[in-house]
A and B are shown apart, each in its own frame.
Chain A
Amino acid sequence: MNFFADAIRWLADPEQWTGSYALPVLLGQHLLYTVVSVLIAVVIAVPTGWLIGHTGRGREIAVAVSGAARAVPSFGLLILLVLLFGVLQVPAAALVTFVLLAIPSLLAGAYSGIEAIDRRVLDAARAVGMTPWQVFWKVEFRLGLPLLIGGLRAATLQVIATVTIAAYVNLGGLGWPIIQGIPLRRFDEVLAGAILVAVLALVVDLLFAVAQRAAVPAGVRAVAT
């Protein structure tokens, strides 16, 4: 437990809280990259996923994309794009990497949310005279929301993990103390960074878990319990 005491001491040191590598700055960078790239991925993947779920067309493509994405090493993709974009364009290359990594989970969450809906529910919605747009907005969107949030949760955590690694290409973020500390064998700093990254991921995961639960419509919840 000695290591942890050292890490806590490192975290408490005022030196860590000022300057361009201050912990709040690193946290801000981490969150900014995560939020921006996930939002861009949402804009691309969610409407596409809804369209696939609604029409049932292109399902095989969505399944293939989310399956193949698992085999791609995120760290390798990041470095490949950094070299392709040129070393001066690191933030842009990193952002593209994060967006690409976030897309498969979001796509799967959006289309499977709609696909999982009982066909009879949709028939009922049409039978009571809902327009296609109303069927989508009042039925498909609401019922698919928990799974969409599940996809958002997986995508966000994937991006948080990759932003951590991206400290290796000088992107900043909470991975920085880890990446910087390892070659210098400063284990208090490395462990402190790891603790912060883990806490960030766990807090974000918890928030999404709560949101996912809250997104289940009251009627569905009443039936389920």
Chain B
Amino acid sequence: MTWIGANLGLILDLTAVHLWQSVVALVLGVILSVPLGRLAWRYRLVRGPLILLTGLLYTIPSLALLILLPAVLGYSAISETNLVVALTVYAVAILVRAVADGLDSVDDDVRRAATAMGYGSARRFWTVELPLAGPVILAGVRVTAMSTIALATVGTLIGVTNLGYLFTNGLDRRLIEEVFAGVAAVVVLAVLVDALLVLAGRLLMPWQRAATGRGRAARTPAEEVSA
């Protein structure tokens, strides 16, 4: 524990940077996925190609994506922006599906009731459909948050500093403790963010607990695998 004790400040600094990079990617991912997911849900013709395209991007290994994206879009590969853009792409790949699935899970009767009460399409989306799709979307956000935080460490290979630095530096210095500290910090950060998301979900969607018996708050393992 000597290394960890002596370098607690460094670990905390790297954790803060790591959290920042992950949160920016996650927030951007959610902001982009809500309209895209709605588009995919509404138009069957858009859904197929959109899910296919994001699926293909998701398939590309992280290290390759970190090189290909800047080459296609024309910015420097060795930058924090590059890492955040790549993480956002992965986030969108998971979240577009989650948003479309979430909107699928909204009862059509509820939708018709809102229309009958005179809700226009935009107001119905923001005040009825999106909140009711919330639990399924939140399940997608939780998966995305976990994988984004773990994946961000690859950034160290393209020269972006975050908790991944503890892996490469630990290897260079043959310090198992440093690498272990890095892995542990990533896992703890992921678990904390996940707990915050669950808490936020309970506060924002208080009806969720009452409905979990029949609602689809989370994907079943079968859907998880076929996704």
**Residues in chain A within 8 A of chain B (CB atoms):** 3-4, 7, 62-63, 66-67, 70-77, 79-80, 82-84, 87, 105, 108-109, 111-113, 115-116, 146-147, 150-151, 154, 157, 160-161, 164-165, 168-169, 175, 178-179, 182, 187, 190-191, 193-195, 197-198, 201-202, 205
Residues of B within 8 A of A87 (CB): 174
CA distance A182 to B156 in the complex (A): 11
Which residues of chain B (75-119) have a CB below 8 Å from chain A? 77-78
Render B168-203 as a binary contact track against A, CB cut-off 8 A, 1 for contact.
Answer: 101100111001101100110011001000000000
* Interface check B17, CB cutoff 8 A: no
B129 to chain A, nearest CB (A): 27
CA distance A71 to B184 in the complex (A): 10
Q: Contact check, B71 vs A3: say whether CB atoms are below 8 A apart.
A: yes
* Interface check B2, CB cutoff 8 A: no
CA distance A137 to B83 in the complex (A): 46
A115 to chain B, nearest CB (A): 7
Residues of A within 8 A of B226 (CB): 146-147, 150
Given contacts A71-B146, A108-B221, A116-B222, list 19 more A-B pairs with CB under 8 A.
A3-B71, A71-B187, A71-B191, A71-B194, A72-B186, A73-B153, A73-B183, A73-B186, A82-B171, A112-B225, A115-B221, A161-B63, A168-B168, A178-B63, A178-B64, A182-B78, A191-B67, A194-B66, A194-B71
CA distance A73 to B152 in the complex (A): 8
Residues of B within 8 A of A108 (CB): 221, 224-225
* Interface check B212, CB cutoff 8 A: no
A6 to chain B, nearest CB (A): 10
* Interface check B208, CB cutoff 8 A: no
Q: Contact check, A161 vs B61: say whether CB atoms are below 8 A apart.
A: yes
Residues of B within 8 A of A146 (CB): 226
7 CB contacts below 8 A, A to B, read A76-B164, A108-B224, A147-B226, A178-B64, A182-B77, A182-B159, A201-B60
Q: Contact check, A83 vs B150: say whether CB atoms are below 8 A apart.
A: no
* Interface check B59, CB cutoff 8 A: yes
* Interface check B41, CB cutoff 8 A: no
Residues of A within 8 A of B191 (CB): 71
Residues of A within 8 A of B56 (CB): 202, 205
Q: Contact check, A71 vs B150: say whether CB atoms are below 8 A apart.
A: yes
Checking A147, A179, A202 against B222 with a beta-carbon cut-off of 8 angstroms, the contacting residue is: A147
Q: Contact check, B170 vs A79: say whether CB atoms are below 8 A apart.
A: yes
Q: Contact check, A83 vs B59: say whether CB atoms are below 8 A apart.
A: no
Residues of B within 8 A of A147 (CB): 222, 225-226
Shortest 6 CB-CB distances between A and B: which pairs? A161-B61, A194-B67, A112-B221, A71-B190, A197-B64, A76-B183
Smallest CB gap from A67: residue in B: B146
B65 to chain A, nearest CB (A): 8
B99 to chain A, nearest CB (A): 20
Q: Contact check, A157 vs B59: say whether CB atoms are below 8 A apart.
A: yes
CA distance A202 to B159 in the complex (A): 26
Q: Contact check, B220 vs A116: say whether CB atoms are below 8 A apart.
A: yes
A74 to chain B, nearest CB (A): 7
CA distance A146 to B226 in the complex (A): 9
CA distance A62 to B190 in the complex (A): 19
Residues of B within 8 A of A179 (CB): 157
CA distance A214 to B38 in the complex (A): 31
Checking B174, B179, B187 against A72 with a beta-carbon cut-off of 8 angstroms, the contacting residue is: B187
Q: Contact check, B61 vs A160: say whether CB atoms are below 8 A apart.
A: yes
Q: Contact check, B183 vs A164: say whether CB atoms are below 8 A apart.
A: no
CA distance A205 to B68 in the complex (A): 18
Q: Contact check, A80 vs B179: say whether CB atoms are below 8 A apart.
A: yes
CA distance A185 to B167 in the complex (A): 22
Smallest CB gap from B156: residue in A: A75
Q: Contact check, B153 vs A75: say whether CB atoms are below 8 A apart.
A: yes
Residues of A within 8 A of B183 (CB): 72-73, 76-77, 80
Q: Which of B149, B157, B175, B222 has the most CB of A within 10 A?
A: B222
Render B124-154 as a binary contact track against A, CB cut-off 8 A, 1 for contact.
Answer: 0000000000000000000100110111011
Q: Which of A82, A83, A111, A197 has the most CB of B within 10 A?
A: A83
